[in-house]
Amino acid sequence: MELSRPGPDAVGTGRSRSVMADPGSTGRFGRFGGRYVPESLVPACEQLESGFRAAWADPAFRAGLARTLALHAGRPTPVTPALRLSAELGLTLLLKREDLTHTGSHKINNVLGQAMLAKRMGKTRLLAETGAGQHGVASATAAALLGLECVVYMGERDMRRQELNVFRMELLGATVVAVRNGSRTLKDACTEALRGWVTQVDEAHYCVGSVMGPHPYPWMVREFQRVVGEEARQQCAALLPQGRPDVVVACVGGGSNAAGTFAGFVDTDARLVGVEAAGGAAVSRGAPGVLHGYRSQVLQDEHGQILEAHSISAGLDYPGIGPEHAHLADIGRAEYPSVTDAEVVEAVLRLARTEGIVPALESAHALAWVLRAAGTPQLPTGCSVLVTLSGRGDKDGAQLVALRRDGARSGALRRDAAGTPR
Amino acid sequence: MELSRPGPDAVGTGRSRSVMADPGSTGRFGRFGGRYVPESLVPACEQLESGFRAAWADPAFRAGLARTLALHAGRPTPVTPALRLSAELGLTLLLKREDLTHTGSHKINNVLGQAMLAKRMGKTRLLAETGAGQHGVASATAAALLGLECVVYMGERDMRRQELNVFRMELLGATVVAVRNGSRTLKDACTEALRGWVTQVDEAHYCVGSVMGPHPYPWMVREFQRVVGEEARQQCAALLPQGRPDVVVACVGGGSNAAGTFAGFVDTDARLVGVEAAGGAAVSRGAPGVLHGYRSQVLQDEHGQILEAHSISAGLDYPGIGPEHAHLADIGRAEYPSVTDAEVVEAVLRLARTEGIVPALESAHALAWVLRAAGTPQLPTGCSVLVTLSGRGDKDGAQLVALRRDGARSGALRRDAAGTPR
Amino acid sequence: MNATERYGRLETHLRRRRDAGRSLLVPYVTAGISADWTDYLHAYADAGADAIEVGLPFSDPMLDGATIQEASHRALSSGTTTAGVLARLAGTPVAVPLAVMTYANIVFRHGAATFCDRLAQAGVAGLIVPDVPYDEVDELSTVATAAGVELVLLASPVTAPTRLRRIAERSRGFVYGVTVMGTTGERTGLSDSARALGTTLRGHGSRPVLLGFGISSPGQAALAAGSADGVVVASSLMREVLAGRGPREVAGTVAALRAGLDAG
Amino acid sequence: MNATERYGRLETHLRRRRDAGRSLLVPYVTAGISADWTDYLHAYADAGADAIEVGLPFSDPMLDGATIQEASHRALSSGTTTAGVLARLAGTPVAVPLAVMTYANIVFRHGAATFCDRLAQAGVAGLIVPDVPYDEVDELSTVATAAGVELVLLASPVTAPTRLRRIAERSRGFVYGVTVMGTTGERTGLSDSARALGTTLRGHGSRPVLLGFGISSPGQAALAAGSADGVVVASSLMREVLAGRGPREVAGTVAALRAGLDAG
Ligand SMILES: Cc1ncc(COP(=O)(O)O)c(C=O)c1O
Ligand SMILES: Cc1ncc(COP(=O)(O)O)c(C=O)c1O
């Protein structure tokens, strides 16, 4: 695909404004989305939808959320020009720094929104699912800040792999529930959280961690993450001569950081690129299906059984993708390439050594695609690229150390290579 | 000691402006400071002093540093009103959030300043000492960003204890040199870094990690950290009815976050409190001495042998204290109480569960003093307190988990207690 | 029998029995749980089942509790597929109507119409899809009807009154009243809200109303049948199946439930 | 001998020998390195030392390389203290003058004046404090003079010309030219800058100029003595001491250095 190079007048014009808009009461994005939940959860979803509609239309709620994001979570985050890497790649690379938020990823934007909404709706408890623990830690954080209880569902296998994050959640006062079903990982934690919600809908809000789940979640989470794209758009306007980047790139697990980023640019002519993990590429390797309450592209076998995703990054180890992304792919407004684990490790190293930033493995997917595409017709020399760095890599240290020990996936991590700037 | 409660007119008046000023060519703060280095390092210190004087007087340098701090490191950091904890303590508690900076502590302010200065002076390599690894990671980060080489000296014992941070430094392209002398910890790393500097003064800048070392370091590092106090002062003016906090509190290892914070308030009537670790309380338990190139209060035995500090937090495990702090204590402008490891663990838990912030063990010292003093004449009900949260607690997770396993220092960390909000 | 002839078989059958004064009993089995799983169907029918719910296993059974999760997992692990189950059912005429219970993803994998046609071809009368609620039902209900499959809708204790009426009207085969806020699984007693749900649903027409989720003992079944037309029993039976009890043995439990209902 | 009488003893002694055409040799030993450490002093003197540098161990010896660090560490570990060392020296008259080498913190621990008085009482003639550079020397130099202790100043290859002159003028006992940018420790050869340093320092007056740091072999010593009045030798001797060689054995090395100097 050739890079589209619109004239300046095309910015903010060519695209329909109805893309990434309010999906209405059905929660549909084209053929995707919806609300595939048991009847017992329908009232809760309806109540949440109307609660969110009211809050989102209430300037006081939005001001309160904005204030909390600013005073507590550290917004706005900067857009950093990656000067040395840009020079190496022959393009202008800008990084939206969600790694600098409180708790270290964009997840906090969403959980603060949902926690404040839950409190406004009179709920006293947050439920959350978590894989690697990032969303769990963020949820526990928001709950502590607002004086809510917090119960986090986590696969037993993930709990063993992420002992530290389990500890962090407990430190924050949350209760972590071990999920012993199925593959004992994220998808089972989601399922279990939905089950748990059914039993406590009155007092509990289920704080979904990405743009997935039944309506209104995909829409609501995108709106809570919209701040990423809106800030970035303003910041790009100040940093780039042409006012907006040619290409906007974000990694996609469920797709919340990508959705928030894209929301800021969907009405421009910027190309939108969501990068999936090769082992969890729901758009290119999935098929339409229903999982965790919504219809989307889902990794599944020919019989309709959900497949486990496999990625070096726990946060992208999810077999679905937010329904709005499936729709954006359908209509051609965004593309969803995927990158391999080895490319991801290379990208972590490359950014660390050129810009002094160690990105989360998740975020490094977006960067890995840029490294691959730079200088090809996909990303021609001289173009400008905004990459959302969804989170920081501190959490991945132990995993990378283990990788180096095994020497398995990437020669780039070997100790002898580590000392040499590349 | 009674809390001073000045009238509003006292703000910015009562105090002499010469406190925390330029210490001149001798680098003296009262009877402390100076430049106790071998003759072979004197020219390098002099060159550094004049290089810093020139840069600091150059608006272009300061603008460049400010831009890098903003675009890359995430400044300004917010001041967060700790609403729930304030209510519990009966006072107004504000937190200056250095934990939200890139790499997770105030250390980045200093290393970016020094790295940019080193580059301006034509150096091609940064040397740094590190204990827990925070300053080493920050230095490696700044070096990567500016395209400098980086060599980090680290005690062999600390390297074993902090494998992850060693890995992070290597990931960032730094070379970590194991120090096998003496106690094989921070103080030996400092000594070894000074030794290393002697052999490569032409091409290398020694990037000292706190307000210590020979002149101009204590002054220069305080100036690079001044941004913490100046931002906080402005932010407090917007947040507090009386315009400035009654008490300003920061933890003290070498004392850089405290120095930067105090610099913003020294000319007001705010009380200044630097909190040391009970096992590293250089002011209250040290004696005047000379270590690592400067004269100050130093933990030592009656024969003049330096003692190892012992604290739960690696970053405060240092037997000296910045000379300007020793001077501020001398003249009574600041106080330096100390807190125990057990109080520190309690403070971590308390902040985590009331505000959703897990502070670094170092930073938790400042908070622990507030918890102890709240409601006593030290911090009477209704007063306002600014605490600098110098860093985030992610790095301490493994240590706290180990503590819980041992059940040694604090019952508060036991698993059964963890689920219950306190 | 073509689709149109077949359509309504489940409901007709249940109505007839109910109208004869019988409390309805619909026991459950997970398809593929053992090599001889279809023997449970015959044994259930012989023990007094009025219809049988056949679980088509799904990897992520959102509305199921630990027992049926485990059963689904086992069935899938031993290679159970939708195609295989339906082929088996097609070759296994059972004396009472069957309703398949599965999740939306299984239904939509190759298109809902194709799925319903295959059900019909296998002789299955009804379909229960707990994660397709009333608002999402249009597409599925159209193709199910076209294929001659009765789409059973579920109602919960928190479903709003008008919505309950619509569900009752739109459901085919029977109306499935979910007695608890929670997943499938054994519980003791029967809540007031469960009884109220049965009563309300019965008030919205003459279609049979069955209560399910958490009903395990004959006494509970009898209690439930007091405010509905009958019960669905799943987890308590599957616990026995998982424990290795064969069709005859589990049928003993079904017979006991039958007796409880008949006595109640 | 009171302070005033004593003062200048080290320098007078070294000048006299130098003026007699002798290249000066100042070997080093770490005080407390072994129980019999004072025997090294006598042995050194007998083997041709013109003065002896006695290292007073410090926990954080910034300017010392691995060998002397290890020696300091061993001495401290076996309980060596300043007071103990000085008491021992007071009871051990040595045939040549002694200069104590230590770090600022040891000097300032109980006040520089007290420290210098104690040195004098122990019969020590000179003091070398490598981490008190020229700019910081006022306080110490005043009290040392008052106590009758000659404060030896150091100069390095990168010290600026005017500063070199001031150091040479202000130093007492001798001027210590540090030959390398680096710590103590053995090296091969001798750099041009080291020789230039010796030459420059000698140009600033008649006070003896010794070169030190990295001088280990008799040949190197002779080379160094070509552009200075003599040498300080430390690490190579301490390596032998650490290896367990006794006073007589190490004195053999001192004698070889003496021979090298005399031959050069
Ligand atoms: C840093 C980071 N980035 C990205 C993701 C993926 O989530 P999403 O696709 O919703 O942005 C995660 C999930 O845990 C994450 O931790
Ligand atoms: C988070 C944090 N706070 C405080 C300190 C202590 O340094 P200083 O006293 O110079 O602020 C450290 C040192 O590593 C640190 O990492």
Calculate how far, in angstroms, residue B84's C-alpha sits from the geometric centre of ligand 1. Answer: 29
pLDDT in tens, B57-108: 999 999 999 999 999 999 999 999 999 999 999 999 999 999 999 999 999 9
The helix/strand/coil state of D155 is strand
pLDDT at B407: 67
Mean pLDDT, chain A, as a whole number?
A: 92
Output the pLDDT for position D183.
83
Token pair for residue C226? 């007091």
Cβ pair B318, B186 in contact under 8 A: yes
pLDDT of residue B178: 97
Residues of B in Cβ contact (< 8 Å) with A81: 71
pLDDT at residue B413, rounded to an integer: 57
C78 touches A at CB < 8 Å: no
Asked whether residue C155 carries a pLDDT value surpassing 80, the answer given is: yes
Residue D181 burial class via C-beta count within 10 angstroms: exposed 0-12, middle 13-18, buried 19 and up? buried
Sheet with A125-130: list strands edge to edge.
Answer: A175-179, A149-155, A125-130, A204-206
According to the CATH classification, is domain A14-73+107-217 in 1.10.3720.10?
no
First-to-last C-alpha distance (Å) of chain A: 30
Contact at CB, D103 and B43, closer than 8 angstroms: no
Q: Which residues of A256-281 are buried (b: 16+ CB within 10 A; e: fewer)?
A: bbbbbbbbbbbbbbbbbbbbbbbbbb
pLDDT of res. A422: 28
Cα of D14 to ligand 1 centre, how many Å? 75
**Predicted TM-score of the model (pTM):** 0.94
**Stretch among A385-389, B28-32, D186-190 having the lowest mean pLDDT:** D186-190
Chains B and A touch (3+ CB pairs under 8 A): yes
Condensed to tens digits (0 to 9), the pLDDT of residues B351-369 reads: 999 999 999 999 999 999 9
Q: What is the SS3 assignment for A136? A: helix
**In this complex, do D133 and B191 lie within 8 Å of one another by their Cβ atoms?**
no
State the best of C58, C60, C179, C187 to mutate against chain A, taking most chain A CBs within 10 Å. Answer: C60
Is ligand 1 within 6 A of the CB of residue A218?
no
pLDDT class of B409 with cuts at 50, 70, 90: very low
Q: How far apart are CA A164 and CA B396, in angstroms?
A: 10
Residues of B with a catalytic annotation lie at 107, 129, 390
Amino acid code (one letter) for C252: G
Tell which phi-psi region holds residue D31, choosing left (phi > 0), alpha (psi between -120 and 50) or beta. beta
Per-residue pLDDT for B422 more than 90?
Answer: no
Q: How far is residue D124's CA from residue D54's CA, in Å, rounded to a whole number?
A: 9
Fold match flag (B14-73+107-217 vs B79-104+226-417): yes
Cα–Cα distance between D46 and D96 in angstroms, integer?
A: 9
pLDDT of the residue at A407:
67
Taking the C-alpha atoms of residue C3 and residue B414, their distance in angstroms, rounded to an integer, is 64
Q: Show the tokens assigned to D253.
A: 């090395």
Residue C47: name the closest of C260, C225, C258 by CA: C258
Minimum CA–CA partner of C182 in chain A: A199
What digits encode the pLDDT tens for the residues A252-264?
999 999 999 999 9
* The pLDDT value given to residue B12: 37
Ligand 2: residue whose CA is nearest its atom 13:
B315
Looking at residue A5, its pLDDT comes to 37
Contact A309, A316 (CB under 8 A): yes
Give the whole-angstrom CA distance, residue A114 versus residue A143. 10
Does the structure show a pLDDT above 90 at B9?
no
Report the separation in Å between the CA atom of A128 and the middle of ligand 1, taken as the mean of its atom positions: 14
Q: Which residues line ligand 2 (CB under 6 A)?
A: B 105, 132, 134-135, 210, 251-257, 315-316, 360, 362-363, 390-391
pLDDT at B132: 83
Asked if pLDDT for residue D87 goes beyond 50, the answer is yes
Residues of chain A contacting residue B357, judged by C-beta atoms under 8 Å apart: 102, 141
Which burial class, exposed, middle or buried, applies to B155 when counting CB atoms under 10 A from its CB (0-12, 13-18, 19+)? buried
Query: Which among B77, B135, B168 has a CA at the least distance from the CA of B254?
Result: B135
**Comparing C-alpha atoms, which of C148, C98, C99 is closest to residue C128?**
C99
Closest to A204 measured CA to CA, from A150, A144, A149, A125: A125
- Mean pLDDT across chain C, nearest whole number? 94
Residue D3: what pLDDT? Answer: 52
Token pair 């748990």: residue: A196
Is the predicted pLDDT of residue B159 greater than 50, yes or no?
Answer: yes
| Residue B285 in tokens | 């338990």
Contact (CB<8Å) A300/C66? no
A123 vs A192: CA distance, rounded Å: 20
Mean pLDDT of A359-364: 97
DSSP state letters, D50-80: SSEEEE---SS-TT--HHHHHHHHHHHHTT-
Band (B33; pLDDT cuts 50, 70, 90): very high
> In angstroms, what separates the C-alpha of C42 from chain A's closest C-alpha?
26
How close does chain A come to C31, measured CA to CA in Å? 14
Q: Do A140 and B356 touch (CB under 8 A)?
A: yes
DSSP B308: P
Sequence-separated contacts (24+) of B412-421 with Cβ below 8 Å: B412/B345, B412/B346, B412/B349, B413/B345, B413/B349, B415/A170, B418/A170, B418/A171, B418/A173, B419/A170, B419/A173, B419/A174, B419/A175, B420/A173, B421/A144, B421/A149, B421/A173, B421/B353
Q: Under a CB-based contact definition with an 8 Å cutoff, are residues C264 and C211 in contact?
A: no
Q: Which of the following is catalytic: A105, A256, A390, A410?
A: A390
In the three-class reduction of DSSP (H, G, I as helix; E, B as strand; rest coil), residue A278 is classed as helix
Q: Where are the domains of chain B?
A: 14-73+107-217, 79-104+226-417
Establish if C220 touches chain A: CB-CB under 8 angstroms.
no
**Ligand 2 atom closest to B360 (CA):** 1
Query: What is the average per-residue pLDDT within B280-309?
Result: 95
How far CA C25 is from CA of A285, C149, C191, C205, in Å, comes to 43, 20, 19, 20
Residue A10 has pLDDT above 80, yes or no: no
Query: Which residue among D11, D50, D64, D229 is the active-site one?
Result: D64
Q: Is A302 close to C109, i.e. CB distance below 8 A?
A: yes
Instruction: Please pick, among D11, D50, D53, D186, the residue that the annotation labels catalytic.
Output: D53
Mean pLDDT of the region D74-91: 97
A170 and B419 in contact by Cβ < 8 A?
yes
Q: How far apart are CA B270 and CA B383, in angstroms?
A: 11
Does ipTM surpass 0.90 in this model? yes
- Residues D217-237: tens digit of each pLDDT: 999 999 999 999 999 999 999
- Which residue has its alpha carbon closest to ligand 1 atom 5? A315
> Does the beta-carbon distance from A295 to C135 stay under 8 Å?
no
What distance in angstroms lies between residue B263's CA and the mean position of ligand 2's atoms? 16
pLDDT tens-digit map of A269-286? 999 999 999 998 999 999
Look up tokens 């072979």; give the residue.
Answer: B40
Using an 8 Å CB-CB cutoff, list chain A residues near B170: 415, 418-419
- Any contact of D with A, at least 3 CB pairs below 8 A? no
A287: β partners: A298
Q: Contact A344/A350 with Cβ under 8 angstroms? A: no
pLDDT the model gives residue B2: 31
Distance, in Å, from the CA atom of A122 to the CA atom of A142, rounded to the nearest integer, reads 15
Distance between CA atoms of residues C208 and C126, nearest Å: 13
Interface contact D60-B188, CB threshold 8 A: yes
Judge whether residue B266 has pLDDT over 70: yes
Segment A314-335 mean pLDDT: 95
Cβ–Cβ contact C104 with A under 8 A: yes
Ligand 2 nearest atom to the CA of residue B392, by list position: 1
Asked whether residue B314 carries a pLDDT value surpassing 90, the answer given is: no
What domains does chain D contain, in order, with CATH numbers? 9-263 (3.20.20.70)
* Residues D123-172 pLDDT 10s: 999 999 999 999 999 999 999 999 999 999 999 999 999 999 999 999 99
Å between D119 CA and nearest CA of chain B: 14
**What is the distance between the alpha carbons of residues D168 and D39, in angstroms, rounded to a whole number?**
33
Question: Does residue A105 have its Cβ closer than 6 Å to ligand 1?
Answer: yes
> What are the pLDDT digits (tens) for A91-131?
999 999 999 999 999 999 999 999 999 999 999 999 999 98
pLDDT in tens, A191-238: 999 989 989 999 999 999 999 999 999 999 999 999 999 999 999 999
B5 pLDDT band, cuts 50/70/90, is: very low
For ligand 1, is residue A110 a contact (CB within 6 Å)? Answer: no
**Is CATH 3.40.50.1100 what the domain over A79-104+226-417 is classified as, yes or no?**
yes
Nearest CA of chain C to the CA of A325: how many Å?
19
Q: Is B300 on the interface with D (CB under 8 A)?
A: yes
Residue D53 Cα distances to B367, D49, D222, angstroms: 50, 10, 19
Residue D264, classified by CB atoms within 10 Å of its CB into exposed (0-12), middle (13-18) or buried (19+), is: middle
Give the angle B97-B102-B107 at the CA atoms, nearest 5°.
75
**CA distances in angstroms from B338 to B284, B318, B329, B352, B369, listed in the order given:** 8, 14, 13, 22, 8
Q: Is the per-residue pLDDT at C2 higher than 60?
A: no
**From the CB of A162, is ligand 1 less than 6 Å away?**
no
Interface contact C156-A40, CB threshold 8 A: yes
How far is residue A410 CA from its own chain's centroid? Answer: 25
Active-site residues of C, by number, are 53, 64
Cβ within 8 Å, pair D182-B195? yes
Give C93: exposed, middle or buried? Use CB within 10 Å, 0-12, 13-18, 19+.
exposed
The secondary structure of residue B316, as a DSSP letter, is G
CA A269 vs CA A242, A387, C185, D5: distances in Å: 12, 16, 53, 93
In whole angstroms, how far apart are CA C251 and each of A66, C53, C89, C257? 62, 14, 19, 10
Tell me how far apart the alpha carbons of residues B105 and B114 are, in angstroms, rounded to a whole number: 16
Q: Identify whether D19 is a catalytic site residue.
A: no
Asked if the Cβ–Cβ distance from B39 to D104 is below 8 Å, we say: no
Report the residue from B26, B36, B302 with minimal CB separation from D104: B36
Shortest CA gap B35–chain A (Å): 32
Task: State the pLDDT at residue A185.
Answer: 86
Q: How confident is the model at residue A161 (pLDDT cuts 50, 70, 90)?
A: confident
Q: For C257, list phi and psi in degrees, rounded to 5.
A: -65, -45
d(CA A233, CA A96): 10
Q: Among A256, A339, A358, which residue has the most ligand 1 atoms within 8 Å of its CB, making it the best to mutate? A: A256
Ligand closest to the CA atom of residue B277 = 2
How buried is A240 (Cβ within 10 angstroms: 0-12 exposed, 13-18 middle, 19+ buried)? Answer: middle
D104 interfaces chain B, CB cutoff of 8 Å: yes
Work out the minimum CA distance from B169 to partner chain A, whole angstroms. Answer: 9
Q: Which has more pLDDT, A2 or C215?
A: C215
pLDDT in tens, C73-117: 999 999 999 999 999 999 999 999 999 999 999 999 999 999 999
For residue C3, the model assigns a pLDDT of 52
Give CA separation, A316 vs A65, A130, A156, A256, in Å: 27, 12, 18, 11
- Name residue D185's amino acid: G
Q: Check if A396 has its Cβ closer than 6 Å to any atom of ligand 1.
A: no
Residue A55, both tokens: 């809050």
